[in-house]
Amino acid sequence: MFPLRKHALEVQSLPERLPHHNGAAELPPPVISIMGYGPNGFDEQVLSDPTGIHVYLKKWPVTWINVDGSHDHQIVQKIGAIFDLHPLVIEDIGNALQRPKVEQYDNYLFIIARMMMPDSPPDTEQLSIFLGKNYVLTFQENPGGDCLEVARERIRRNLGPIRSGGTSYLAYALLDAVIDVYFPVLDVYGDKIEELETQVLERPSENHITQIHQTKREILALRRSIWPMQGTLHTLLLDSPAFTEESRIYLRDAYDHLMRVIELIEIYRELGSDLMDVYLSTVSNRTNEVMRVLTVISTIFIPLTFIAGVYGMNFNHSKSPLNMPELDWYWGYPFVMLLMFGIAGSLLWYFVRRGWLGTPE
Where among 254, 280, 306 does a domain terminate?
280
The pLDDT assigned to 177 comes to 93
pLDDT at 12 over 60: no
- Are 63 and 205 in the same domain? yes
pLDDT of residue 266 exceeding 60, the answer is yes
Dump pLDDT digits (tens) for 134-178: 999 999 987 777 889 999 999 999 988 999 989 999 999 999 999
69 C-beta neighbours (distance < 10 Å), count: 21
How many independent structural domains does the chain possess?
2
Band of residue 113 on the pLDDT scale cut at 50, 70, 90: very high
* Count of CA atoms in the C-beta half-sphere (13 A) of 58: 5
74-111 pLDDT, tens digit per residue, is 888 999 999 999 999 999 988 878 889 999 998 999 99
Same structural domain, 297 and 230: no
Is 269 in the same domain as 350? Answer: no
Regarding whether 310 and 214 lie in a shared domain, the answer is no
Q: Say if CB 347 and CB 300 are below 8 A apart.
A: yes
Q: Are 204 and 250 within one domain?
A: yes
Could you tell me the CATH number of the domain that includes residue 343? 1.20.58
Among 191-195, 225-229, 238-242, the minimum mean pLDDT is found in: 238-242
Please determine, for residue 2, whether its predicted confidence score (pLDDT) is greater than 70: no
Helix (H, G, I), strand (E, B) or coil at 120: coil
Q: Is residue 174 located within the same domain as residue 239?
A: yes
CA-to-CA separations, 129 to 50, 110, 132, 242, 289, in angstroms, rounded: 17, 6, 10, 13, 59
What pLDDT, on the 0 to 100 scale, is given for residue 22?
Answer: 45
Least confident of 67-71, 160-164, 247-251: 67-71
In the chain, % of residues over pLDDT 90: 34
Whether the bond between 122 and the residue before it is cis, its omega within 30 degrees of 0, is: yes
Predicted structure pTM score:
0.74
Report which residue type is found at 171: A
Least confident of 2-11, 162-171, 244-253: 2-11
Q: Is there a domain that residue 2 lies in?
A: no
Final residue belonging to a domain, choices 217, 246, 280 = 280
pLDDT at res. 118:
66
CB atoms within 10 A of CB 251: 22
pLDDT at 358: 65
Q: What does R_g of the chain's alpha carbons equal in angstroms?
A: 36
Q: In percent, how much of the chain has pLDDT > 70?
A: 90
| Domain assignment of residue 199, yes or no | yes
Tell me, what DSSP letter sits at residue 125? Answer: E
What is the C-alpha to C-alpha distance for residues 279 and 277, in angstroms, rounded to an integer? 5
235 and 122 within one domain: yes
Residue 85: what pLDDT?
A: 92
The DSSP letter of residue 164 is T
The pLDDT of residue 321 is: 77
Q: What pLDDT score was predicted for residue 314?
A: 76
360 part of a folded domain: no
- Which amino acid belongs to residue 262? I
User: What's the per-residue H, E or C state across 283-349?
Assistant: HHHHHHHHHHHHHHHHHHHHHHHHHHHHHCCCCCCCCCCCCCHHHHCCCHHHHHHHHHHHHHHHHHH
Domain holding 305, by residue range, is 291-354
Please tell me whether residues 203 and 318 are part of one structural domain.
Answer: no
Domain end among 250, 280, 310: 280
Are both 99 and 120 inside the same structural domain?
yes
Q: What's 247's domain CATH number?
A: 3.30.460.20
Asked, for residue 286, whether it belongs to a domain, the answer is no
CB 62 within 8 A of CB 136: yes
146, part of any domain:
yes
- 13 pLDDT band (50/70/90 cuts)? very low
Q: At what angle do helices 149-157 and 166-180 cross, to 10 degrees?
A: 140
Assigned domain for 253 exists? yes
Q: Are residues 244 and 311 in the same domain?
A: no
In a domain, 110, yes or no: yes
Same domain, 172 and 229: yes
Q: Is residue 271 predicted with pLDDT exceeding 50?
A: yes
pLDDT digits (tens, 9 = 90+) for 22-49: 444 466 788 899 999 999 899 999 988 8
Same domain, 92 and 232: yes
85 phi, psi to nearest 5 deg: -80, 145
Q: Residue 147 in contact with residue 118, Cβ under 8 Å?
A: yes
Residue 168 inside a domain? The answer is: yes
